[in-house]
Amino acid sequence: MNLMQLTLLEQAVFVLAALVLFLSFAMLAQARLLAGIHVFAWQGAVLAAATGLVAAGGAPHLFISAALTLALKALLIPWMLHRLVRRLELERHVEPLQHPALVLMAGAGLVIFSYWVVVPIERLELVTTRNILSLSLAVVLIGLLIMVTRRQAVTQVIGFMSMENGLFLAAVAATHGMPLVVELGVAFDVLVAAVLFGVFFLHINESIESLDVDRLNRLSAREDDT
Amino acid sequence: MNASAWLLVLLQALLFLLGAPLLVAWVKRVKARLQNRRGPALSQPYRDLYKLFGKETLVAHTASGVFRAAPYIVFASTLLACTIVPLLAARLPAAAVADVIVLVGFLALGRFFLALAGMDVGTAFGGMGSSREMLVSALAEPAMLLAVFTLAMTAHSTNLASVVDHQLASGLILRPSYLFALMGLVLVAVAETGRIPVDNPATHLELTMIHEAMILEYSGRHLALMEWAAQLKLMLYGVLIVNVFLPWGIATRITPAALGLGLAAVAGKLLLLGVLLAVAETGLAKMRLFRAPQFLNFALLLALLGLLSHVILETGA
Amino acid sequence: MPADFPLSLLLACAAVLLALGSAGSALGTGRVPGAKILMFLLLGGAGAAAVSAGLLALASPDAAVGELPLGLPWLPWRLRLDALAGFFLLVIGLVVMAVAVYGPGYVRDFEHGQDPLPVLGAFTGLFVVGMLLVVLADDAFLFMVAWELMSLSSYFLVAFQHEQAANRRAAFLYLLMAHVGALSILLGYGVLAAFGGGFAFDAMRAAQLSPLWGSVAFGLAFVGFGMKAGLVPMHAWLPEAHPAAPSHISALMSGVMLKVAVYGFIRFTFDLVGQLQWQWGVVVLVVGSLSALMGVLYALMQHDLKRLLAYHSVENIGIIFIGLGLGLVFLATGHPTAGVLGLIAALYHTLNHALFKSLLFLGAGAILHATHERDLERMGGLLRRMPWTGLFFLVGCISISALPPFNGFVSEWLTFQTALQSWLLEGGVLRSLIPIAAAVLALTGALAAACFVKVYGVAFLGRARSRRVRRARPVSRGMRLGQGFLATLCLLAGVFPTTLLQWLNAVPGQLLGRGLSEATAHGWLWLTPIAPQTASYSAPVVLLALALVWWLSATLLRRGRVRAVRRCDPWGCGFGSGLPGPRMQYTATAFAQPIRRVFGLLFHVDERVERDDAGLRHQLHVADRAWELFYAPVVRWVQAAARQVGRLQSGHIRVYLGWSLGTLLVLLWLIS
């Protein structure tokens, strides 16, 4: 496929999709908690812009999704996380990665892997779609990688949310969005999840005085005594 | 390949030689303004060079011939690297003599001798500077080559003139790969030209120096050549960034009007880049040496993403 | 010798005989005056004959074949000299010539020592005979005999200075690995012979292998030749064995013997196996990249000069195999031009590595000869004590660091150009993997430059760190001549790549039926591997321009009355009036410290600071991870197996006889 055959609008969608992937990497490498939240907010904003561009390209119902994404993922959820972090006094929390280079290269490996996985899906009519699909799969996988490599509960939530961003990107690119009802439902789910996470954090923090998930490895209170 | 084209190559080399101190002066000036200082005049680097060329040249007792040859090799290799880059016109014969990989090779040659010169006198600072410089460059070079490969794979050529031609011919295309390669190359350029946050060109503390530590023992015309080469290198990266990624305005025919337009375009783009550099340097603080690998790692990642997005998004299968 | 041999083959046979004669005359050294000179004269003659045979073979359109009246009754030893063999004869011959010029000065140390010179000379001659015969062999039998001759004679050369326990250990390890490798190669030939119906290479070429059996044969050959070539993780013997031998032998081993393994791999894969598969290329590419990177990183950590150079051989073999891997991928996917380019790049690097690595080993030998010092931490300022060796060593350093306009750059440039053809490929994954391999190559090149800044800066620049180094004397004229010969070749191979490529083109021309016609089509000035608009490089112009700018800046840019430089003290940071002492200089370990820290994950670093009465003691030990990851499990496994077998050892003689009886019965039953 040649990029020259696409309209400028589609090219812009490509660039934004690539930026979403890049922001996933930025989240993966980010040691500071607050900065991580900001990167997540930016990812939401770029995603919203990509959705808006797709909408402008002939799928007007996606404007609603774009607005929703912007409101929810770029503003509301980051704001909630931000407030949570302030309440838990984690503003200056830094969690450096053990081997940042290794983790980043693993992320790059995931990109190649997801491309390799998606290549056989020849039946999709548009090659465009498949290419963005592989990016979104990579975003999902990197989100999972963030959750694997991080110990901080808040960072894990960010990883989880960015996985959702990847799924959303796939939906927008592959099928010009899901039905509005589904989308609304998913958006609401994410919001509820964010609220629930917030509540959980408070409880975890109260009970173990930390958000380090590595300390949640004891299965019962009994073992705690031994 | 006619004579006028080769003359133009010489003219470009001359422009590089004359323009490089100006670019450095411009960055300094803008930076001073941003920090509420007046800053040196734009002619200051020229005066410095002129003065240094007239000064007596001191060489340490312990230095060997490598120390005395290094300034000339560094200067020559940097200048040759400059002649390859399209400054005013796109289709120049010098690009056929040496492609972009050779350009990286020229820079590596200069650096090799610069680092050797640092170790030649036998003081602690020189060795320290050389060791650090080789670390930074070892990490920066793969990132630079990856970024360049993205361009080369798009244009199916490593000839810089062909790359620029390909860019001009295909018109405005938003390529995600170019975006990443550009960002990666910018980070590499910052590291390789010894700017903040990797190195501080204005430092006076030996322990924090990289580039300055290697040329600590130089004086007179040797120092002038080393300084000039460093200025050339900054301009080289600047032109590489603005003319390869955003080549619009560059002359495709050798006529006075087209060349004038090319000169105006590249001057404007470089001045803008200089402002951006000054702003970035004002806002950032120098990193610890062992943060620099992370910085360059990020550059490598960007270049890699550029390559991957080229393969995944732009060519498909 | 039959009279119907073509001239090139006659010359090659003459080279073998001359080398044999050199081995023979070595036996007289110490007793007969002039035997030493004769020995090296014959060795040099062997080298010259090999070079001329190689050039003739590269120039002639088809292979020269001959049969020796030796060997088994049903399988006489057959020789075949085609372009590929000719190229490797050329490589061997050039280095042997340089070593023959260098040798007489270097072995002077051994004449009055306890190490016997006749042994050294005899095994050197046999070693060269072995290498020449491997390249000339046209059947697996002669190939393996010559291979063993090469391995065994080099074992004795490694064990030459056997008073040191470390050398004995290195030699044993070398022998062990060489034989495991040889076994693997033998099995690989066995697979081909089973399908081809004979051990002659012609029969193997005609064999039709299923993809599975082809892959098995390829895998066996790759392991076998890779072990000899020193690919990671099978490289562990190399940095032990190469430094243990006398320096001119190290030059032969690193510069040439590893190349013979490369020859074997090319012969096996590109010539004998037949149908290529791209998966093989990926394996070779990955292993090659890994070898290149690990080799250079471990080299950076060394401060024993010869060990460091040995690790660099691992790196350069990796680069050669990157080229071969790229060639395999492109050839197997039906892109012959790019595939041929990959093969050419690998061959070019083979020649280059032979030249500059031999040069560097000879330089290390010269330092060893003059100062009896191999440890970089005790060197310094040698450039002023030994200016010619310093100059030639600098040429070697620039070449191996892949800097223009010397030869190392050309071959890396060709490898990069091959990698950049990856847009031709169908699979997106391959297309993204190959540029990553190119990035690894770039990282390797930059790290190699760092390493050789370290070597040259610490050994030749600065100030002497020990008394013996401060009093070093220049080496003899012959030793300088040997180095100068190789240094000149390094420059020539860097400046006239197109001319060289014209000769090299014959190799893929005969092997694969096509060369790079475009590469040399634009005159000797231009190197254009694919097409002029894709990439071009003009090394002569580059050299000329460098010299011109140098000259102009040296003459034009002077102003003022003071022309001469004035000598002064270096900047001592304001402390005292005298010079800061030599111990203030950066050491080799200090130079590599940032890199050790950044890539710390890949090494086994044991760093301790201990405080005792005398003050602080800093201890640093960097070990090769390959030992714990690869060799330790194998050793454990072998030991466990040995314990199982050990149960048979009861100590009662009648039980042993019982086992023999049982074995005999089983065997008789099997053949009945």
3-state secondary structure at position C606: strand
Output the pLDDT for position A10: 81
Instruction: Pull the structure tokens for residue C199.
Output: 């051990």
Yes or no, beta carbons of C433 and A116 under 8 Å apart:
no
> Burial of C647 by CB count in 10 Å (0-12 exposed, 13-18 middle, 19+ buried)?
exposed
Contact A144, A155 (CB under 8 A): no
**Cβ neighbours around B275 below 10 Å, total:** 16
Chain C: closest CA distance from residue A109 (Å): 10
List the one residue out of C93, C89, C149, C143 whose CA is nearest residue C122: C149
Average pLDDT value for residue range B293-311:
89
Task: Indicate whether A223 pLDDT > 70.
Answer: no
Output the pLDDT for position C312: 95
Torsion angle of the four alpha carbons C283, C288, C294, C298, in this order, in degrees rounded to the nearest 10: 140
Lowest mean pLDDT of A153-157, B82-86, C46-50, C662-666, name the range: A153-157
Output the pLDDT for position C365: 94
> Which of C384, C571, C585 is the closest to B217 by Cβ?
C571
User: Number of folded domains in chain B?
Assistant: 1
> Which of B58, B300, B315 is the closest to C423 by Cβ?
B315
Task: Indicate whether A115 pLDDT > 90.
Answer: no
Task: Indicate whether A1 pLDDT > 50.
Answer: no
Phi-psi region of B127 (alpha: psi -120 to 50; beta: other; left: phi over 0): alpha
Highest mean pLDDT among A213-222, B94-103, C644-653: B94-103
**In this complex, is the C-beta atom of C432 within 8 Å of any C-beta atom belonging to chain A?**
yes
CA dist C466 and A99 (Å) reads 40
Chain B: closest CA distance from residue A129 (Å): 10
Query: For residue A132, which residues of chain B lie inside 8 Å, CB to CB?
Result: 313
pLDDT digits (tens, 9 = 90+) for A127-147: 566 678 888 999 999 999 998
> Which of B298, B305, B314 is the closest to A3 by Cβ?
B314
> Which of A12, A17, A29 is the closest to B298 by Cβ?
A29
Output the pLDDT for position A225: 45
DSSP 8-state symbol, B57? P
- Contacts by residues C547-556 (CB-CB < 8 Å, ≥ 24 positions apart): C549/B75, C549/B76, C549/B79, C549/B80, C550/B72, C550/B73, C550/B76, C553/B72, C553/B75, C553/B76, C553/B225, C554/B72
DSSP chain A: --GGGS-HHHHHHHHHHHHHHHHHHHHHH--BHHHHHHHHHHHHHHHHHHHHHHHHTT-TTHHHHHHHHIIIIIIIHHHHHHHHHHHTT-TT-B---SSHHHHHHHHHHHHHHHHHHHTT-TTSS-HHHHHHHHHHHHHHHHHHHHHHH--BHHHHHHHHHHHHHHHHHHHHHHHSS--HHHHHHHHHHHHHHHHHHHHHHHHHHHHHSS-BGGGG---SHHHHH-
pLDDT digits (tens, 9 = 90+) for C477-507: 999 999 999 999 999 999 999 999 989 999 9
**Cβ neighbours around C69 below 10 Å, total:** 8
**In this complex, is the C-beta atom of A218 within 8 Å of any C-beta atom belonging to chain C?**
no
Instruction: Pull the structure tokens for residue A171.
Output: 């939906």
The H or E element spanning position B124 is helix B124-155
What is the residue range of B137's domain?
3-315
What is the residue range of A47's domain?
3-93+100-211
User: Number of folded domains in chain A?
Assistant: 1
> Which of C533, C580, C592 is the closest to B162 by Cβ?
C533
Query: For residue C429, which residues of chain A lie inside 8 Å, CB to CB?
Result: 112, 115-116, 119
CA dist C348 and C356 (Å) reads 12
Question: Which residue would you say has higher pLDDT here, A10 or B52?
Answer: B52
Instruction: Pull the structure tokens for residue C373.
Output: 């010092």
Instruction: Pull the structure tokens for residue C103.
Output: 């040798």
Contact B144, B101 (CB under 8 A): no
Query: For residue C426, which residues of chain A lie inside 8 Å, CB to CB?
Result: none
Query: For residue A104, which residues of chain B lie inside 8 Å, CB to CB?
Result: 297-298, 301
CA dist A88 and B79 (Å) reads 57
Alpha helices in B35-123 (DSSP H): 44-54, 65-84, 94-97, 100-120
Does any domain span residue A173?
yes
Contact B201, A35 (CB under 8 A): no
Burial code (b: 16+ CB inside 10 Å, e: under 16) for C378-397 equals bbbbbbbbbebbbbbbbbbb
Does any domain span residue A225?
no
Average pLDDT value for residue range A106-122:
82
CA dist A81 and A158 (Å) reads 9
Chain B: closest CA distance from residue C441 (Å): 8
Rg (CA), chain B: 19
Q: Which residue shows structure tokens 């290195």?
A: C170
Output the pLDDT for position A124: 56
Chain B: closest CA distance from residue C573 (Å): 9
Q: Which chains reach chain A with 3 or more Cβ–Cβ distances below 8 angstroms?
A: B, C
- What is the total residue count of chain B? 317
User: Maximum distance among all alpha carbons in chain B?
Assistant: 63
Count of alpha carbons within 13 angstroms of residue C421, beta-carbon side: 26
Of chain C, the percentage scoring pLDDT greater than 70 comes to: 97
Output the pLDDT for position C579: 64
Yes or no, beta carbons of B313 and A14 under 8 Å apart:
yes
Average pLDDT value for residue range B113-135:
91
Beta strands (DSSP E) in chain B are 58-60
Yes or no, beta carbons of C428 and A99 under 8 Å apart:
no
* Chain C residue at shortest CA distance from A100: C598
pLDDT digits (tens, 9 = 90+) for A11-49: 888 889 899 999 999 999 888 888 899 999 999 999 999
Question: Which residue would you say has higher pLDDT here, C600 or B77?
Answer: B77
CA dist C603 and C592 (Å) reads 13
Lowest mean pLDDT of B1-5, C500-504, C542-546, name the range: B1-5
pLDDT digits (tens, 9 = 90+) for C258-295: 999 999 999 999 999 888 999 999 999 999 999 999 99
Lowest mean pLDDT of C92-106, C318-332, C554-568, name the range: C554-568
**In this complex, is the C-beta atom of C210 within 8 Å of any C-beta atom belonging to chain A?**
no
Instruction: Pull the structure tokens for residue C580.
Output: 């800061």
**In this complex, is the C-beta atom of C282 within 8 Å of any C-beta atom belonging to chain A?**
no
Average pLDDT value for residue range B128-151:
92
Instruction: Pull the structure tokens for residue C554.
Output: 């040296």
Does any domain span residue A88?
yes
Contact C262, C225 (CB under 8 A): yes
Distance of CA C671 to the CA centre of its chain: 46
**pLDDT interval class at C564 (50, 70, 90):** confident
Chain A: closest CA distance from residue B42 (Å): 39
Question: Which residue would you say has higher pLDDT here, C426 or C372?
Answer: C372
Task: Indicate whether C429 pLDDT > 70.
Answer: yes
DSSP C234-257: S-TTHHHHHHHS-HHHHHHIIIII
> Which of B58, B105, B290 is the closest to C565 by Cβ?
B58
